[in-house]
DNA sequence: TTGAAAGCGGTACCAG
DNA sequence: CTGGTACCGCTTTCAA
């Protein structure tokens, strides 16, 4: 490994001078050229680790999500990255496999690697645990809120969006609507349920049936199979994965049920059953999260900002 | 930040002793307890950066892919991670947005962060460029090969699998088969085309039409629209994203065409058109790649291993 | 502007 | 088994 010392020796200058050159401080023109040549000749590359150790910053942001194989997460992250790269931050991604203690471990490990900030789609809702793991490194929450308002965050108006979507269904003459709920320890699932129940009340809908399931296709499938036993015009499904399963179930049973769900699914046009969906602004979520994080890094003591994007 | 020195002071021992304790060397029982208490009291956490700097290893593996929002990539990565975590490696993921120079940049940056190895789903095929960027850090290729055999790799038998699938279609009486090719700078696209052409010859299939497209749904849609202008029983589509578009196109046109493709798509059961597919062993790809990488890290000078998984 | 030297938080060697 | 210390590669004073 060729180090700054090698460059110093090669160019006949002091290490400090090379360092200052590397960091854009002013260096006599002649020396600058000597240095550039030496670097070129030696193929020197700055050791980011050593640098981070001195400066305490790594110019790296970590994104932590429940799982990688999730299109919603990944699309949000791509957006986060697009913003952050403009500010010379690198983005690294990790998942915690939906396990809260793994999440804590990963955050701790990343903090000890001196990442400068976290974008977190949280698993569990113990904010204090996250805060402890992250130390004083900024954290921005996306998609889900936790039990304490001690982070910046970007979420969508799940409750209202759900409410509105039921409204649209009602406007189409649909009145018997079932629901596949998500896990109630997940913020979005709770909010969507809340919105659904509000709509039930306001529109005076009756004959409704709820089944609770995990955020997975299998669970969506099973839940839908159950609901198909009832006399229902439509079923609201709490998330993307569940929707995949639900559609499969309806298709299997040749049933005639409108599905209301979150996020457009692939091949949405080829699905036979009527499917009304709410599109989440993935691009905007990522962008705003990145911006919040940058702002927080600049000013660690500013007030928390909790963004609710209207769908 | 609480350092090893603080722990030394707090416990009245020398830094060296603390370090040795941390690394699992033998420490007198009494001292061990003192240290543990001090660590507990102070909330000490080892600084991974400093450690990496001394040891030259970071216990981190980087996975670099063309894009994050790609289920195939992510499922492979999850598998990689499952293996590597057993060996105490952390996995971080980055994408290069399908740009070769970005890929080089990312690899360089990660090397300078002292990652211990790369799992790379390459963009472009300039192996030397990757080797230069990675320095002497091990690289294992997945899914795609490059122009020089200077890396370990795990790919599937794209050519044969494609050939066989066409054979199966022929066995069903299908003879007029079109093809949506992938970008020919991508290994898998070339191999699949090769397999397809071999089948054309061996089965003496005629009336075939090819359209070349990008690995994207839009491109698959457009290509299929074109092909639907011909008299075809089936169309072989080169990858997952293209297939999504192709199915959409067929559905739009109410055409009656069997689609042959790679990877099972979501909602595959609800798709009206007949769809024959080849499932890639994502789990195995990731597992084998991780194992190759571990082996290479252990023995940097062993011969390159190029695995071709039979589908 | 530059060189010399003191660290950043660890690890590893050496003498005891 | 322990303490002391040099050093990893870089940044950042401090004098000159």
**CB-CB contact of A309 with A288 (8 Å):** yes
Confidence (pLDDT) at A158? 98
CB count in 10 Å sphere of residue B17: 20
Q: Average pLDDT per run of 10 along chain A, which is 311 residues long?
A: 94 95 94 96 94 93 96 96 94 95 94 94 97 96 97 98 96 96 96 97 93 95 96 95 93 91 82 87 98 96 97 89
- List helix spans (H) across A23-119: 29-42, 48-55, 71-84, 100-112
Contact yes or no for B243/B263 (Cβ under 8 A): yes
**Residues 201-240 (A) near nucleic chain D, CB < 7 A:** none
**Å: A14 CA to D16 C1':** 14
Distance (Å, rounded) from C-alpha A231 to C-alpha A248?
Answer: 18
Where chain B has pLDDT below 70, the residues are none
Grouping H, G, I as helix, E, B as strand and the rest as coil, residue B18 is helix
Q: How far apart are the first and last CA of chain B?
A: 52
The 10s digit of each residue's pLDDT in B203-227 is 999 889 999 999 999 999 999 999 9
User: Alpha-carbon distance A20 to B300, whole Å?
Assistant: 36
A41 near A72, Cβ under 8 Å? no
Residues forming a β-bridge with B258: B234
**The tokens of A174 are what?**
């649909």
Distance from CA of A130 to the nearest CA of B (A): 15
Residue A25 Cβ under 7 A from any strand D atom: no
Judged by CB atoms closer than 8 Å, whether chains meet at B271 and A272 is answered as no
- Inter-chain CB proximity A46 and B112 less than 8 Å: yes
Collapse the DSSP code of A128 into the 3-class scheme (helix H, G, I; strand E, B; otherwise coil) and give the result: helix
Measured CA B14 to C1' C16 distance, in angstroms: 15
pLDDT in tens, B26-51: 999 999 999 999 999 999 999 999 99
Instruction: Look at residue B1 in the predicted model and tell me its pLDDT.
Output: 87
Mutate to test the interface with A, among B93, B95, B252 (most CBs of A within 10 A): B93
> Could you tell me if residue B56 is left (phi over 0), alpha (psi between -120 and 50 degrees) or otherwise beta?
left
Chain-centre distance for alpha carbon A208 = 32
Query: Measured in angstroms, what separates residue A32's CA from nucleotide C11's C1'?
Result: 35
What are the backbone dihedrals phi and psi of residue B296, each rounded to the nearest 5 degrees, phi first? Answer: -65, -40
Q: Is the CB of B268 under 7 A from strand D?
A: no
From the CA of A205, how many Å to the nearest CA of chain B?
30
* Distance (Å) from the alpha carbon of B269 to chain A's nearest alpha carbon: 7
Predicted pLDDT at A76 = 97
């Amino acid at each position: 490994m060729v180090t700054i010392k090698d460059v110093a020796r090669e160019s006949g200058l002091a290490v400090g001078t090379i360092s200052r050159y590397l960091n854009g401080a002013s260096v006599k023109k002649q020396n600058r050229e000597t240095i550039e040549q030496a670097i070129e000749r030696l193929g020197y590359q700055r050791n980011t680790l050593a640098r981070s150790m001195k400066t305490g910053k790594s110019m790296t942001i970590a994104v932590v999500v429940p799982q990688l194989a999730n299109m919603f997460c990944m699309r949000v992250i791509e957006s986060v990255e697009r913003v952050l790269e403009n500010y010379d931050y690198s983005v690294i991604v990790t998942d915690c496999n939906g396990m809260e203690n793994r999440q804590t471990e990963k955050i701790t490990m990343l903090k000890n690697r001196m990442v400068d900030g976290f974008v977190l789609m949280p698993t569990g809702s113990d904010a204090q645990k996250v805060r402890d793991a992250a130390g004083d490194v900024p954290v921005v929450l996306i998609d889900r809120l936790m039990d304490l308002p001690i982070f910046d965050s970007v979420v969508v108006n799940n409750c209202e969006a759900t409410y509105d979507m039921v409204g649209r269904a009602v406007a189409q003459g649909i009145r018997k609507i079932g629901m596949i709920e998500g896990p109630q320890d997940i913020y979005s699932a709770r909010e969507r349920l809340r919105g659904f129940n509000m709509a039930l009340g306001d529109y005076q809908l009756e004959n409704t049936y709820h089944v609770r399931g995990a955020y997975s296709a299998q669970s969506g499938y099973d839940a839908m199979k159950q609901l198909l036993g009832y006399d229902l015009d439509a079923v609201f499904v709490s998330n993307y994965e569940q929707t995949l399963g639900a559609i499969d179930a309806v298709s299997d049973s040749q049933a005639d049920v409108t599905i209301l769900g979150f996020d457009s699914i692939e091949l949405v046009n080829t699905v036979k059953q009527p499917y009304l969906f709410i599109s989440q602004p993935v691009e905007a979520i990522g962008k705003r999260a990145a911006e919040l994080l940058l702002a927080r890094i600049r000013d660690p003591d500013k007030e928390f900002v909790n963004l609710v994007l209207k769908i």
